[in-house]
Chain A
Amino acid sequence: MATTVQPVPPNATREFLQNLVRLPRTLKDAWFRLGRPPESEREESQATFHNLFLHIHSVRIHRRSLAPGLTLGLGIISTASFVILCVTGVLLMVYYKPSTALAYDSIKDLHYVVFTGRFIRNIHRWSAHVMVAAVFLHMARVFYTGSYKKPREFNWLVGLGLLVMTLALSFTGYLLPYDQLAYWATTIGANIANSPRELTDALGITQWFNPGGFQKRLLLGANFVGEDSLIRFYILHVFVLPAALITLLGVHFWRIRKDGGLARPEDPMGGPAEWSGKITKVFEPLATKTYGLMAVVRGRRATVNRGPENTVMSWPHLFWAELAVFMLTTAFALILAYYFDAPLKELANPAVPENPAKAPWYFLGLQELVSYSAFMGGLAIPAIAWIGLALIPFLDQKSGGEGVWFGTAGERFVALKSWFIGLVAVVGMLTVTVNYGWMRNWFPSINQLWIILINPGSILVLLYMAWSLWVLRRQNSVRHAAVALFTCFLVGFTVLTYFATVHRGPNWLFYWWPSQWPVH
C-alpha cells in the first residue's frame, strides 16, 4: 500500500459558518457593488452604467441641461406623476370592482371605510391633473425652445403619442367611479366618437358607411354606457393604455439619449468653454484617463481628443436634480390630496343628466367647441391641431436657436403679437356666439353641412391659420409662422378652457359667475 500525501480536507462546516457570519456584509456587497459612495469620475461612471435603471442616462451630461430655467423640470414632473399614478392606481385596484352594480359602492368604500383609501384616491386624482398639465407645458417648453428640430423630429412625434395616451388614460379613468359626472361625461365622449355621423347623415351615406357608429360601439360595446362599457374602459385604463404609455416613454427617453441629450446651442470650439458669462472648467484632462463608448453621445461635432467640455458627471448632479423634482412633485400631489377631496357625485342615473355635464377641465375647451358642432369641435379640429403639431419639425427644418427660449431673432416679439391676436380673436368669437348665437338660430332649417363647415370653432381655426400665413410672408421665416400658430392655439385653448369652466352654466348658458346659476 503506497502512502500518498493526502491534502488536508477543507473544513466545510467551518467555511459554512464563516460565510454565515459574513452573510450581512456579502449580501450588502452584492447589492451595493462599490460598497461606498463613488469617489472618482471612473467610479461615478460605473455607478451610472452598471445599474439597469440609471444606465438610460449618459454618464456625463451637459451643464446646460441641468439649468432649471431651460426645462423647468417638466418632463421629469410628467414622469414622476405617472409613477405616482401607477403606484396609487394599483392600490386602488385592490378594492375597485368594475361592474355597474358595485363600482360606485367600491369607490364609496374606498372613500369612507378603507384605511387611507380616501387619501390614496385623492393623490391619484391630483397626480392625474398634474400629469396632464405638465405634459401640455412640457410640449410648450419643447416648442418654444426649438427643441424639436433635427435630429429630434422623431422624438417630437413620440411625445405627441404620449400626449394622446395621457389624455386617453384620463378620459377612461373618468368613467370608473360610475357616478353622475362619469356617466354623462362618458356618454358625451362616446357620442363624440359617433359624431362623424353628423357628416355622413348630411351626405346621406350613413346606411352604407358609418364610421361613427363603429367607433362608438367599439368603445362602449353597446349603444349606451353600461356594464360592457365599464369593463372596456377598465381594461384600457389599467392595462392597455399604461402598457402602451410605458413603451412609448421608454422610446422617448432612449431617443433623448440617442439624439445627444437635451437640445442646446453648440459649445464654442476648443478648450473649456464659456457660456452664460461664467468660465467653467469642469473637465481636467488626465494623461491616464480613457473614455469608453458610454461617454460618447451624438453631436454635430466630434469630441475626439477634445474632452467633453462643459459636461458634468450624471452621478451625482443629474440624479440629485431628478430626485429633487420627483420629491417636489410628490409633495405637491400630497398637499393637494390632503386639502381637496376628489369629487364623487351621486350614483349614475341614465334618466337625468347632470346639468351642466362638464368634462374634466382639460377637455372643457373642446366641449365649448363641441357646443357649436360635435364633429368639428370634437374630432376634426383636434385632429387638425394634432396633425399640425406633428408636422412642425418637418416643415420647419432650418436649424438655429435650439435649446434657447425664443432662440431666433424676433421670435419673442412674434410670440407676443400672436398672443395678443389669438386672445382678441377667441374673445371676439365668444362674444359674438354668446350674444347672437349661430346659424341655426337664424336659419333653423339650414343644412347641417353648412354648420359643420362654418361654425365659430372652424372660423377661429381659419383666423389663426391666416395670421400664421401672414407672419410667414411678412417675417419670411417658417419658425416664426410656427410660433405664431402655436401661440394662437395655446391662447385659444386656454381661453376656451377657462370660459367653459367658469362662464358656462346649466343648459350651457352664459353666466358671469357660477354663483349666478339658477337653483334647481
Chain B
Amino acid sequence: MSELNEKKPSRLEPFPVPRRSFLSLAALGSFFSAIGIALAGAFRLPGPAVLPGPVRRYKIGHPEEFAVGSETRFEEANFMVFRDAQGVFAISAVCTHLGCSVARSPSGFACPCHGSRFAANGDVARGPAPRALPWLEVGRAADGQLVVYAENEVPKGTRFKA
C-alpha cells in the first residue's frame, strides 16, 4: 500500500486513486443524489398546483342601482364600490399589511388589526401598511350588470363610465 502511495504521479496516472475508493465514492454520491432528488420530488407535493377558491369575479348589479355619490360594501367579496360624477370604481377592503378587512372611517379606511389608516382614495395615511389599497377592475357583463374583477388591479383613479 505504501508503495502505491509513494508512486510519483505521472502524466498517464496523475493522481492514483485506489479503485475501491473511487467506486465507494461513486456509490455514496449516487446514493445521496438519488435520495436528494427523491426528497425534492416528494416535497414538491405540498406546493399546490391549483389554488382552491372561487373565481373572484363578482356581478354586483346594474349601474342605475349605484347612485352618484354612493358607496356600497360587499362583505363576502371584501371590496367597496363607489360612484362619483366621473364613474364607478372599486377599492379592495383587504389591508395590505397583514390581510385584515378594513372598515370605513370618516377620513377613509381604518384597519382594526395593527392600526393602518388609508385615505379615501386608498393611499396609506399612517401605520404599518406597505402599499395603498388596490383599485380593482370594473367592467360590464353581457346582461348589462357591472362586474368587479377582484383579482385585477388597475391604476388609482381608473373609473368605469357607466
Task: List chain A positions with a Cβ less than 8 A from chain B.
Answer: 184, 187-188, 190-192, 195, 198, 201-202, 214, 217-218, 221-224, 226-228, 232, 350-357, 367, 370-374, 437-438, 440-441, 444-445, 448, 451, 506-509
Which listed residue, A351, A354, A374, A448, touches B76 by the CB 8 Å rule? A351
Q: Do B46 and A232 touch (CB < 8 A)?
A: yes
The smallest beta-carbon distance between A353 and chain B, in angstroms, is 4
Which residue of chain B is the closest to A509 with respect to CB atoms? B115
Whether B97 lies near A353 (C-beta < 8 A) is no
B111 at the interface (CB under 8 A from A): yes
Q: Report whether A224 and B112 are in contact in the complex, using a CB–CB cutoff of 8 Å.
A: no
Bound Cα distance A435, B51 (Å): 43
Q: Are B114 and A353 in contact (CB under 8 A)?
A: no
Encode B112-138 as 1/0 by CB contact (under 8 A) with A: 111100000001111111110000000
- Whole-angstrom distance between the Cβ of B76 and the nearest chain A Cβ: 6
Of B62-70, B98-106, B140-148, the one contacting chain A is B98-106
CB closest chain-A residue, reference B126: A441
Contacts of A187 in B (CB 8 A): 98-100
**Contact assessment for B112 and A355 in the assembled complex, using a CB-CB cutoff below 8 Å:** yes
Of the candidates A187, A228, A507, the one having the most CB atoms from chain B within 10 angstroms of its own CB is A507
Query: A residues within 8 A CB of B97?
Result: 191, 374
- How many A-B contacts at CB < 8 Å in the complex? 105
- Nearest CB to that of A349 among chain B residues? B75
- Report whether B126 and A184 are in contact in the complex, using a CB–CB cutoff of 8 Å: no
Is the interface on chain B under 10, 10 to 19, 20 to 34, or 35 or more residues? 20 to 34
- Bound complex: CA of A353 vs CA of B128, how far in Å? 17
Chain B residues within CB distance 8 Å of chain A: 46-48, 51-53, 75-76, 78, 97-101, 110-115, 123-131
- Give the Cβ gap from B159 to chain A, nearest Cβ, in Å: 22
Closest residue of B by beta carbon distance from A225: B99
Report Cα–Cα, A153/B113, bound state, in Å. 40
B110 touching A507 by the CB < 8 A rule? yes
The chain A residue sitting closest to B129, CB to CB, is A440
Q: Which residues of B contact A356 (CB under 8 A)?
A: 112-113
Q: Name A202's closest neighbour in chain B (CB-CB).
A: B130
A residues less than 8 Å from B113 (CB atoms): 184, 188, 353, 355-357, 508
Instruction: Tell me the minimal C-beta distance from B106 to chain A in angstroms.
Output: 13
Expressed in whole angstroms, the Cα–Cα distance for A188 and B101 within the complex equals 11
A-B contact pairs, 7 of them (CB 8 A): A187-B98, A187-B100, A217-B48, A224-B53, A355-B112, A370-B114, A506-B112
Q: Identify the 6 closest CB pairs spanning chains A and B, nearest first.
A: A508-B115, A355-B112, A371-B114, A351-B75, A191-B98, A441-B126
Taking a contact as CB atoms closer than 8 A, the residue among B52, B99, B100, B114 that contacts A228 in the complex is B52
In the bound assembly, the distance between CA atoms of A352 and B103 in angstroms comes to: 9
A228 contacts which chain B residues (CB < 8 A)? 48, 52
A373 and B53 alpha carbons, distance in the complex (Å): 29
| Complex contact A198–B130 (CB within 8 A) | yes
Whole-angstrom distance between the alpha carbons of A226 and B46 in the complex?
15
CB distance from B124 to the nearest CB of A (A): 6
A374 and B52 form a contact (CB under 8 A): no
Chain B residues with CB under 8 Å of A373's CB are: 128, 130
What residues of B have a CB within 8 angstroms of the CB of A445 in the complex?
A: 123
